[in-house]
Amino acid sequence: MRHWRAEAAVAQARKTDERIGKLSRAAQQIGDVVKLITAIAEQTNLLALNATIVDRPRGRAAKHGDPGNRAQRSAITRYPPSLA
């Protein structure tokens, strides 16, 4: 009877070891997917930041006018080239 219990315990330990191995591999795969998602999110954030930086000067100039051009237009209006 004791021999049978020992064999059953060993068999159960092997099954448990196999399950732990499967869980470990699954956890590794989940970790790899999380790393990939994180990398994609970081790239997306960088692209969004880049788009914001690239678009910002055009957006401000279109909305508020470029200060340099505004000053130049003002000078031309006050002193037209034909009268200067």
Q: pTM for this one?
A: 0.52
Q: Give CB contacts under 8 A, 24+ apart, made by 30-33.
A: none
In a domain, 72, yes or no: yes
The structural domain count of the chain equals: 1
Q: What residue type is 76 in one-letter code?
A: I
- The whole-angstrom separation of Cα 67 and Cα 74 is 10
Q: Give CB contacts under 8 A, 24+ apart, made by 64-72.
A: none
In a domain, 7, yes or no: yes
- Around Cβ 66, how many Cβ atoms within 10 Å? 14
In a domain, 60, yes or no: yes
In a domain, 10, yes or no: yes
In a domain, 84, yes or no: no
In a domain, 83, yes or no: no
Segment 6-39, tens digit of pLDDT: 999 999 999 999 999 999 999 999 999 999 999 9
In a domain, 15, yes or no: yes
Task: Give CA separation, 57 vs 16, 47, 49, in Å.
Answer: 62, 17, 14
Range of the domain at 65: 2-78
Segment 31-68, tens digit of pLDDT: 999 999 999 999 999 999 998 888 876 655 555 555 55
Would you state the pLDDT for residue 34? 97
